[in-house]
Amino acid sequence: MTPAAPYTVITLALGSLETNCYVVAERATGAALCIDPGADAAAIARRVQQEGLTVQGIALTHGHGDHIGAVARLRKEWGVPVYIHHADADMLTSAARNLSTMLGAHIVTDAADTTVADADALTFGGTRVAVLHTPGHTPGGVCYFIAANTPPLLFSGDTLFRREVGRCDLPGGSWPALQQSVRGKLYVLPGATRVYPGHGPATTIDEEMRENPHVAN
């Protein structure tokens, strides 16, 4: 019998753009990290409570409004730190910079508790989460990588999707930077790595290296 993986990943597609919010949790302890709570704080909090989890941090892959809409309420309810790359940090406090005004909304929250950079690590429970700086969709876009699972887990935000990549035509976007991020930071990960993107279904690094029409290996 194959042993259970040490982590469980809950996916909630929320908001008008169906942005994926992830709650990744240690099976043994219930310690968890919430990634990109984009909308519907009540639904996220309710699911966390139903599963008996203890969220220990909120990690943001970037600062766009559809990825941060539930941050203000959840950070208050859970009393946990918020992490974002320093290059996107000002998006949290400005609806114009986080582009929520384009969606007819005004989404802002307090400044992040901690800003991160490439090769930093976050922790929850006994888990180390590596920060990979992957600019291109935004200047401060990051992916979060958990090597301790089999297969490893990657939360790719809007850098890499199943057979797609993030938009580069928004303020701060760069197509050359995105290509370099995908090839230099993501395609070097183990091929079996399970990729959980900011929108749409999960995939793997192997699949995208073979099948992604936008960034060939």
Examine the pLDDT at 2 and tell me if it is beyond 50: no
- Is position 41 within any domain? yes
Answer whether 0.85 is exceeded by the pTM.
yes
- Is position 217 within any domain? no
Q: What is the pLDDT of residues 56-101, one digit of tens each?
A: 999 999 999 999 999 999 999 999 999 999 999 999 999 999 999 9
- Is position 1 within any domain? no
Segment 143-153 mean pLDDT: 95
Q: What is the pLDDT of residues 14-49, one digit of tens each?
A: 999 999 999 999 999 999 999 999 999 999 999 999
Residue 1 confidence (pLDDT) = 37
- Is position 26 within any domain? yes
Q: What is the pLDDT of residues 161-185, one digit of tens each?
A: 999 999 999 999 999 999 999 999 9
90: domain CATH number is 3.60.15.10
- Is position 2 within any domain? no
Residue 19 confidence (pLDDT) = 97
Domain containing 158: what range?
Answer: 7-211
Task: Tell me the pLDDT band of 103, cut-offs 50, 70 and 90.
Answer: confident
- Is position 74 within any domain? yes
- Is position 119 within any domain? yes
Number of structural domains in the chain: 1
CA dist., res. 141 & res. 61, Å (int): 6
- Is position 216 within any domain? no
Residue 68 confidence (pLDDT) = 97
Q: What is the pLDDT of residues 105-134, one digit of tens each?
A: 899 999 999 999 999 999 999 999 999 999
Residue 4 confidence (pLDDT) = 56
Residue 195 confidence (pLDDT) = 98
